[in-house]
Amino acid sequence: MRHILIALLLSINAAAFAAELPADALVAPALAQMQPAARIMPAVLARFRADYESVEHVFDIAWGPGRRAALSALYRSWQGRLAQIDVGALGLEDRIDHLLLSRELDQRVRMLAFEAKRFAEVEPLLPGVRDVLVMLEARRVGEIQKGRESADQLEATRRALEKRTATLDTDGVAATRSRAVVLRAARVAEAVRSSLKDWFDFYADYDPELTWWLRVPWAALDGQLEASGKAMQLAAGVSDPETIVGDPIGRDALVQGLADEMIPYSPEELMQLAERELAWGEHELSKAAADLGYADWHQALEHVKGMYVAPGQQIALARTLAREAMAFLDKHELVTVPALARVDWRMNMLSAQAQLQAPFFLGGEDVWVASPTAEMAHDRKLMTLRGNNRYFSRAVVHHELIPGHHLQHFYGQRYNPQRHLFHTPFWSEGWALYWELRLWDMGFARTPEERIGMLFWRNHRAARILFSLGFHLGKVSPEQAIEMLVQRVGHERDNAAAEVRRSFAGDYPPLYQAGYLLGGLQLQALQRELVVNGKMSDREFHDAILRGGPMPIEMVRARLLGQAPAANYKTSWRFYSLSANTP
């Protein structure tokens, strides 16, 4: 009887769930809506992705010269193919895809050259490693390996590397080369060591002659690569895993990156923009603090940080906050949130180790909750609780779930998936950040505490522009970035260090952290141009962005305005007036 009852309840819930689904969640949309017959570029993009994945499948050795050569040949071949397409005969969507793929190929060719330059900078610290990389890549393309010659190469590299490593402490390597270059060399050594082990394991015992020749030389070089990596870490002053170094790319690379993202501002102008935004946020914080009876916003922030839920209750809080945000969207008819999108996300917990770099909620397809774990030190537990208080979390949950990243992911699987090729933080993070701006303007923050929670994150994004661009320009050190987050944003110090470590560890592109607020401001300016001026409703505007897929925001603008870009398109949209008195 109990099993029958459960089955009945499940069937009722399923029926109710299906009843509230919009029609396009139950039946496939019309072909013309999903993929108009006239469009040719989605198939072109799919073909390019397949070709790229084939090359990557074979040439997968990190830092390998063969990999760079194969990818360069692929990109240049595709540049020729694109040139054969009659752009004038394409419709709006295809024109956008053609332009973006052309720009993507140009950018990838430049990045290969940049990677080669970065490898050349570390090669003097890693003698013989290039030859080993060539040998590793030879196996990938099926070349026959000769035991004696391979063993000689491994031994020659080991001796050269041992000799070079022995001079690290005596030739002033950390003084003559930046710590970043020395640390990059250590990372290259570790990548080569990993690939070398895979290479040896492939032959071990299956090829008796190679195994006989290679076992001892391989083990010796493996040990030397490990020792050299540790020595370079010591030379770079990063024996402590929590030390932050980073690897700045310089102004020229920043300028090129901004051009690739269709941002017609210099790094210095963007830092000016960020300073204005941060000053505005500090002013608003002071107003909210006064409403709570505090003379200093730092004191009001401390008050809010103390309003955290008990250990173990963060999951329930996140679900409550998610429902609150969706109710607000529904009430104001801001965006279409299909019923399935409301429930097809899971809750995961961030480990204590993961929280060293991600001390707050993360999200996307699912949501990852930052909460203190039992093994954390007492002070770190308190910092984690304070940094994930109910008002900070309120602003984070809708950023990560709905209408933020989860809704993006849901639509991205169903509309224009070929445009994942053009993924950019200015679109992905910019969309989620835009909603923080939009909901603020609509009064989503009702109390001083809620305003402080939203302002904390807005100021955090402005500071990210300042410290990330400043770092890559050589003007801001990791220590100064941490201090900025503590003093001007109000972070707990350990959380500030984790945030800077996350930004500079190399896991994110140099412009990633700047993309949040800059992308949000772009979408805010576009919303004012199209919705405030009466050309579209909020729902039409937001749905169109989600269904269009990822791309630079200037191309989102061209798409929504129906302006097909020319083949020689030059970015020009100044979405933020630096001469205005208010943001």
Q: Does residue 511 register a pLDDT over 70?
A: yes
Query: Which residue, 480, 442, 439, is CA-closest to 458?
Result: 439
| pLDDT score recorded for residue 13 | 46
Q: Which residues contact 141 (CB under 8 A, 6 or more apart)?
A: 58, 66
Residue that wins the pLDDT comparison between 36 and 143: 143
Query: Which residue, 523, 553, 555, is CA-closest to 541?
Result: 523
Q: Does residue 240 register a pLDDT over 70?
A: no
Q: Does residue 14 register a pLDDT over 70?
A: no
Q: How far apart are CA 318 and CA 322, in angstroms?
A: 6
**How many helices (DSSP H) and strands (DSSP E) are in the chain?**
26, 3
**How far from each other are the two terminal CA atoms of the chain, in whole angstroms?**
64
| pLDDT score recorded for residue 177 | 57
Residue that wins the pLDDT comparison between 32 and 398: 398
> In 13-75, which ranges are E strands?
none
The first and second tokens of residue 381, run together, are 């537990």
Q: How far apart are CA 450 and CA 448, in angstroms?
A: 5
The first and second tokens of residue 53, run together, are 């994945």
Tell me what the mean pLDDT of segment 471-483 comes to: 92
| pLDDT score recorded for residue 17 | 37
pLDDT by residue (tens digit) across 539-575? 999 999 999 999 999 999 999 999 999 888 999 999 9
| pLDDT score recorded for residue 232 | 92
Contact by Cβ (8 Å): 556, 501:
no
Contact by Cβ (8 Å): 331, 370:
no
Tell me what the mean pLDDT of segment 355-371 comes to: 65
| pLDDT score recorded for residue 355 | 64
Q: Does residue 83 register a pLDDT over 70?
A: yes
Q: Does residue 416 register a pLDDT over 80?
A: yes
Tell me what the mean pLDDT of segment 176-189 comes to: 85
pLDDT by residue (tens digit) across 211-239? 899 999 999 999 999 999 999 988 887 76
Tell me what the mean pLDDT of segment 450-455 comes to: 96
Beta strands 347-349; 362-363: pairing state: unpaired
| pLDDT score recorded for residue 10 | 36
Q: Does residue 15 register a pLDDT over 80?
A: no
Contact by Cβ (8 Å): 398, 321:
yes
| pLDDT score recorded for residue 581 | 54
pLDDT by residue (tens digit) across 569-583? 999 999 999 985 544
Tell me what the mean pLDDT of segment 71-76 comes to: 97
Q: Does residue 5 register a pLDDT over 80?
A: no
The first and second tokens of residue 324, run together, are 């609150």
| pLDDT score recorded for residue 2 | 39
| Global pTM value | 0.86
The mean predicted confidence, pLDDT, of the chain is 87
Q: Does residue 415 register a pLDDT over 90?
A: yes
| pLDDT score recorded for residue 387 | 74
The arrangement of strands across the sheet holding 347-349 comes to 347-349, 367-369, 362-363
CA–CA distances in Å: residue 63 to residues 123, 150, 154: 11, 20, 18
Lowest-pLDDT range of 9-13, 71-75, 234-238, 457-461:
9-13
Query: Which residue, 309, 289, 310, is CA-closest to 298?
Result: 289
Instruction: Give me the helices (H) in 60-146, please.
Output: 65-83, 92-122, 129-140
Phi, psi dihedrals of residue 347, rounded to the nearest 5°: -100, 130
Query: At 306, which amino acid appears?
Result: G
Tell me what the mean pLDDT of segment 65-91 comes to: 96
Q: Which residues contact 273 (CB under 8 A, 6 or more apart)?
A: 265, 465, 518, 521, 576, 578
Tell me what the mean pLDDT of segment 495-505 comes to: 83
| pLDDT score recorded for residue 63 | 96
pLDDT by residue (tens digit) across 135-145? 999 998 888 88
Q: Does residue 23 register a pLDDT over 70?
A: no
Residue that wins the pLDDT comparison between 399 and 547: 547
For the chain, percent of residues with pLDDT exceeding 90: 67
Contact by Cβ (8 Å): 406, 377:
no
For the chain, percent of residues with pLDDT exceeding 70: 87
Q: How far apart are CA 29 and CA 285, in angstroms?
A: 46
Residue that wins the pLDDT comparison between 150 and 18: 150
Tell me which residue has tokens 């199209």: 530
Q: Phi-psi bin for 93: left (phi > 0), alpha (psi -120 to 50), beta?
A: alpha
pLDDT by residue (tens digit) across 257-300? 999 999 999 999 999 999 999 999 999 999 999 999 999 999 99
Tell me what the mean pLDDT of segment 67-95 comes to: 96
What is the chain's alpha carbon radius of gyration, rounded to the nearest angstrom?
Answer: 27
3-state secondary structure of 351: coil
Tell me what the mean pLDDT of segment 15-19 comes to: 39
Tell me what the mean pLDDT of segment 337-366 comes to: 73
Q: How far apart are CA 79 and CA 495, in angstroms?
A: 45
Phi, psi dihedrals of residue 348, rounded to the nearest 5°: -125, 160
Tell me which residue has tokens 């010796």: 220
| pLDDT score recorded for residue 497 | 87
